Structure 1
């Protein structure tokens, strides 16, 4: 007997990466959701209609969300998260995962654990924090918030590389590769998600919040691995030298590879276009 796995936002980049790891979803029957009709996808406009019956009876993984836009557009993240919770509660899902972001933390001079105070610095982080709060109020159990760090190739740094134009990094004293951030390769991310949904389907207890990253990586190392030209810009007194998430909790659940810029970039470049 296979357990339904409803993947909301399956047409996005993370969803497509997860589709490449279907062999890791043994015992699950993936239901790939799309807002518009498409071959092989469940058509469901999550903001306009109830979830089709039977789709949310197993595990729900909500990767859908609004990344940029006006404050009102970003606020739709709350509605999307609540739509996932509502579908799960109506149909008796075993567990729900909601994709949030490291942006809810803001900045800190220490590795940030899941119980760190939240101080989002921008509208996107604020919207994700509001989504988390609304979802946890609506569904206090059977819910895991996934605070995902930077994804190599899906981020502004690597995704913004332009041929013939050097990327400028803020210099950081004592850090030859410039600022350091928590990153994860897209394939490692998909494999991690597959492992977590497998655990949820098997009834294994999971924490209410999980930081998702492979570890800290220097931005310059990522650019070097991508073969991109880069240089340091003028000194910036506001530069944030390091933003790192504590992934102790995730490591207790999933085997993670070392945080290696070369491997992360290789994963990104190896994805189907």
Structure 2
């Protein structure tokens, strides 16, 4: 019997490239991009715009068991004209395609939906996004959940924490890099997940028959960005944190832990830096 198919929207993005390097065992990935790109000669590629070509999306998703939507503009990477409302449009397009294919839908959301909140953030915490990106992701979650209920499509929004190597610190590091420093000398603390660990967790979630409507995706504990850069051997400077800076975003990973076949280890900057060191050359090539 053929491996169950997973339709991946936004497969040329950073998480999509990561999944191609660490493909989930027992699943067949159908990869979507808006235009053909160098290096896309291998794999089951489907070239179309899911916002403007719903019929093409429905055809590509036909027979898929799961639809994973990773598509959408990222702050700082889409240019000044990036339209954050595309997150809502893409989420709705994914759910409609899920209805057509009889597939479950997983949407890549973000810890940004919580905003500047203290304490350990569980999935039932009130959402208070502090950025246009976070607000768009929160709206995407709400619209997709409502449409999924209307069309009978199971939808799970994955509130992904920082990904070591795809983040603003380790992933955005350049000579002269500077981090905010808060009272007590700490650099920003965030919930993190290692790059290879993320691929493994996504594989487990794609294979899971039932998921909750929303799910935090991070390893337990929070990590200082400065500690991550030190573990990777990347020097950095510090500056006094501005008043609007967020000192800590910590996601409660208990719900995720209960769904996985084996519990995730606590976030460890040394381990996460090592995961990224192995993947970084191949990610750069793609």
TM-score, normalised relative to structure 2: 0.86
- Report how far residue 270 of structure 1 moved: 1.4
CA distance in 1, matches of 2:139, 2:115: 14
Pairing partner for 1:262 from 270, 274, 281: 270
1:138 and 2:147 aligned: yes
> Which residue does the alignment assign to 1:84?
94
CA–CA distance in structure 2, aligned partners of residues 110 and 30 of structure 1: 37
Instruction: Give 2:196's aligned residue.
Output: 187
- Say which SS state the counterpart of residue 32 (structure 2) adopts: strand
Matching residue within 162, 165, 168 for 1:156: 168
5+ long unaligned stretches in structure 2? none
The offset of 1:3, in angstroms, is: 1.6
Number of the residue aligned with 2:32: 33
2: distance between equivalents of 1:54 and 1:152? 31
How far 1:63 moved relative to its partner?
A: 0.8
Q: Pick from 96, 102, 105 the counterpart of residue 96 of structure 1.
A: 105
Q: Tell me if the contact between 2:7 and 2:60 (Cα under 8 Å) persists in the aligned partners.
A: no
2:61 is paired with a residue whose SS is: coil
Contact 1:6 1:56 in 2 (8 A): no
Partners of 2:15 and 2:69 in 1: CA distance: 11
Shift of 1:258: 2.2
SS of 2:141's equivalent? Answer: helix
CA contact (8 A) 1:44 1:52 kept: no
In the TM superposition, residue 55 of structure 1 has moved relative to its aligned partner by 2.3
Q: In 1, are the aligned partners of 2:61 and 2:98 still within 8 Å (CA)?
A: no
Match of 2:47 in 1: 43
Q: Deviations over 1:204-239 (max 9, x none)?
A: x21110001113101110110121222331364444
Deviations 1:242-272 (CA, angstroms, capped at 9, x unpaired): 2101111001112312201111122222111
Distance 1:116 1:87 in 2: 29
Q: For the Cα contact (< 8 Å) 1:170–1:232, is it kept in 2?
A: yes
Aligned counterpart in structure 1 of residue 128 of structure 2, from 119, 131, 134 = 119
CA distance in 2, matches of 1:65, 1:213: 20
1:43 to partner: Cα distance: 1.4
Deviation per CA, 1:14-59: give whole Å up to 9, x if none: 111111222x321x22111111234331112101112142624311
Alignment: residue pair count: 263
Counterpart-to-counterpart distance in 2, 1:33 and 1:72:
20
Tell me which residue corresponds to 1:234: 240
Does the Cα contact within 8 Å between 1:182 and 1:243 map onto a contact in 2? yes
Distance (Å, rounded) in 2 between the aligned partners of 1:52 and 1:25: 25
> 1:184 offset after TM fit, Å?
0.9
Deviation at 1:72, TM superposition (A): 6.8
Structure 1: state its 5+ residue gaps: none
**1:180 CA drift (Å):** 0.8
Distance in 2 (alpha carbons) for counterparts of 1:25 and 1:62: 19
Structure 1 contact 54–91 (Cα < 8 Å) conserved: no
